[in-house]
Structure 1
Amino acid sequence: MTELSSSADEAIAAVRAFSRFYTRQIGLLDEGLHRTAFSLTEARVLYELAHRDGLTATELGQDLGLDAGYLSRLLKRFAAQGLVMRTPSAEDGRRHVLALTPAGRAAFAPLDEASRREVGAMLGRLADSDRTALVRAMRTVQRLLGEAPASVRLRPFRPGDTGWIIHRQGRLYAEEYGWDDSFEGLVAGILAGFVASHDPARERGWVAERGDEPVGSIFLMRQSETVAKLRLLYVEAAARGTGTGRQLVETCLAFAREAGYRQVTLWTNDVLVPARRLYENAGFRLTERAPHRSFGTDLVGETWTLDLDARPRDLTPPPVPPDCAA
């Protein structure tokens, strides 16, 4: 058996402590779940059958990770109690699908209501900001432990995003490139200026979200009457390779055209190779390079330019790191 480091031991202890805490919070240690006659597993089976149509026993077992023999015995008991029925599938007579009977739905209803009431009471003790943080943390746990991630959507920049963008860009560039806190100061200055005086008709920002969790951002800011500047593009590690960076850039450029700009420019650094490829695929061309020392390291700064009259190239979604389009 591989010996675990002390940090791994601490992580295991923390997970086990959280598991004990959470099972106590939601009543999993009670003899019957939510003071009913049903166990947790029985309640999960009823929940799936109440919310999904056309399930077979095989599919139900796979989705819940249940032993086939155990699930078969449970379903036979439910059928004997008049809670579940099996009928031939309309599409394939060789398959039998499961469904709750009216009695099964009547038995599930108080269980479902009790669950909603208990969770609602738990969340009702929290302030709105703490409730949001809790839900976001739970979604992070689901994502990290393997549940399929939700799709990414873009929304407009709004109050409350500024601090998050400064924090995430400062943290990630420090972790991934070793940049010091002067980069975080640069991001803070850019956003402070945008918030203080941007023109919504010609300057905007967008945030990419997966569920309620922000995973990226981008801004278009006015440089002159005819030239806009793409700034502060970045994508969280968890959303890279999904086309999120491409989606952010496309949205930004579409608005630039709509706002009447003739050209978009950006400044980045040569170490951000995948992001540079993203700009190139969008039709930007490299127009200037110059070495500089910034953020505690030696870099080569680059200016990229896109003439909006030019037809954009077909975009492919490369794995995009957080990009310094400052």
Structure 2
Amino acid sequence: MAAPVPDDRVAAVRSFNRFFTRQIGVLREGLLHSEFTLTEMRVLYELAHHGDQQPAALCRNLGLDRGYLSRIVARFEGAGLVAKVASATDGRAKVLRMTAHGRAVYEPLDRRSRDEVGDMLVRFDERDQLRMLAAMDTIRSLLDGQAGMKYAQPFVLRSHRAGDMDWIVRRHGALYAQQNGWDDSFETLVGEICAAFERDFDPAREHCWIAEMDGQRVGSIALARDGEEGVGKLRLLLVEERARGYGLGSRLVDECHRFARAAGYRKMRLWTTDQQKEARRIYCNKGYALVAEEPVHAFGQDMVNETWEMDLGPAS
């Protein structure tokens, strides 16, 4: 049995909690001078930044009681902020989606939150800002490692290894045939992309991630050189149906961006189509902008090819 923690240490943590919550304003009746509580803002944040969410996944990710979330969602539906819609991958399931009105209400609050944090940080010089961020990272790492992962994301990410590219090709072909009706030429294209990635692989500038749940592969993403100096290409984003609703797509994109910044890229670029609705929502939420589009007939379908780009901020 672990030794009891001294009372002065418990008091110190409680004192810090009171101090920090006062600093960031969560004790105000309305967070960010709005009508929303902290928990309500967390729900809005998840929907705004991670796209459609299954209620069960929101409960897990935010550590919320199902009944409590249900009451929040009912209030949001009544205010026209959130709607329940059929899942794009399972017509029997309902997901929560932020409405256009909800986004119009949330975005000014999100900007206000960023401004408030910026106003707090600007009081400190560069050295002290980095000290503060390092201290926060230490606290988060320690608590994440010891919390029993009760509300952790149920997936792990790893680098690709032998056999993974074959899996990526097969699953892209199968999923897009099932969900979009695309023909075999799409699987052939993905095969060519994967073959080129492995043939010319530069580990200092390129990387591929595989997501696993319960030891099974459920997602992928890759960062490749674009050919233009300073530009990285996001490729091969895939999330299996059973792994959706956990924020996996968003996490994969974030991981790709972190590596790209560390590798010195200044811009990200990707290709998608107007049919890939869920992926496009992730790209929009991450800050990508549509820069080119072209109507085409490909993979047995009429569609619009789209090129999206995003400027990368400095490495953290």
TM-score (norm 1): 0.49
CA distance in 1, matches of 2:289, 2:219: 23
CA distance in 2, matches of 1:270, 1:165: 21
Q: CA deviation at 1:151?
A: 1.1
| Contact 2:261–2:315 under 8 Å retained in 1 | no
| Contact 2:155–2:212 under 8 Å retained in 1 | yes
| Contact 1:267–1:304 under 8 Å retained in 2 | yes
CA distance in 1, matches of 2:181, 2:315: 37
- Greater Cα radius of gyration, structure 1 or 2: 1
CA distance in 2, matches of 1:311, 1:195: 26
1:158 maps to 2:161: yes
| Contact 1:154–1:206 under 8 Å retained in 2 | yes
- 2:221 pairs with one of 218, 221, 244: 218
Distance 1:311 1:205, change over 3 A: closer
Q: Which amino acid aligns with 1:252?
A: C
CA distance in 2, matches of 1:265, 1:305: 4
CA distance in 2, matches of 1:232, 1:301: 16
CA distance in 2, matches of 1:266, 1:216: 17
| Contact 2:261–2:314 under 8 Å retained in 1 | no
Q: CA deviation at 1:272?
A: 1.2
- 2:187 pairs with one of 184, 189, 194: 184
| Contact 1:205–1:218 under 8 Å retained in 2 | yes
Q: What's the counterpart of residue 239 of structure 1?
A: 243
Distance 1:290 1:155, change over 3 A: same
Q: What's the counterpart of residue 197 of structure 1?
A: 200
> How many positions carry a matched residue from both structures?
165
- 1:269 pairs with one of 270, 273, 278: 273
Q: Which amino acid aligns with 1:274?
A: E
Identity of aligned residues (%): 50
Q: Which amino acid aligns with 1:290?
A: E
Q: CA deviation at 1:162?
A: 1.1
Q: Which amino acid aligns with 1:174?
A: A
| Contact 2:287–2:310 under 8 Å retained in 1 | yes
Specify every segment of 5 or more residues in structure 2 that has no aligned partner in the other structure, as ranges: 1-150
Q: Which amino acid aligns with 1:202?
A: R
Q: Which amino acid aligns with 2:276?
A: L
Distance 1:311 1:279, change over 3 A: farther
CA distance in 2, matches of 1:290, 1:150: 37
Alignment partner of 2:313: what SS?
A: coil
Q: CA deviation at 1:311?
A: 11
1:296 maps to 2:300: yes
Alignment partner of 1:220: what SS?
A: strand
Deviations along 1:184-203, one digit per CA (max 9) or x if unpaired, are 00000000011111100001
Alignment partner of 1:256: what SS?
A: helix
Q: Which amino acid aligns with 2:154?
A: S
TM-score (norm 2): 0.50
Distance 1:310 1:257, change over 3 A: closer
Q: Which amino acid aligns with 1:160?
A: G
Alignment of 1:23-172 (within 5 A): 151-172=154-175
Deviations along 1:167-223, one digit per CA (max 9) or x if unpaired, are 111001001000000000000000001111110000110001002100000000001
Q: CA deviation at 1:246?
A: 0.5
CA distance in 1, matches of 2:314, 2:294: 26
> Please, what is the CA RMSD of the aligned residues?
2.0
CA distance in 1, matches of 2:278, 2:216: 23
Q: What's the counterpart of residue 95 of structure 2?
A: none
Q: What's the counterpart of residue 56 of structure 1?
A: none
Distance 1:160 1:280, change over 3 A: same
CA distance in 2, matches of 1:286, 1:184: 25
Deviations along 1:20-39, one digit per CA (max 9) or x if unpaired, are xxxxxxxxxxxxxxxxxxxx
| Contact 1:149–1:210 under 8 Å retained in 2 | no
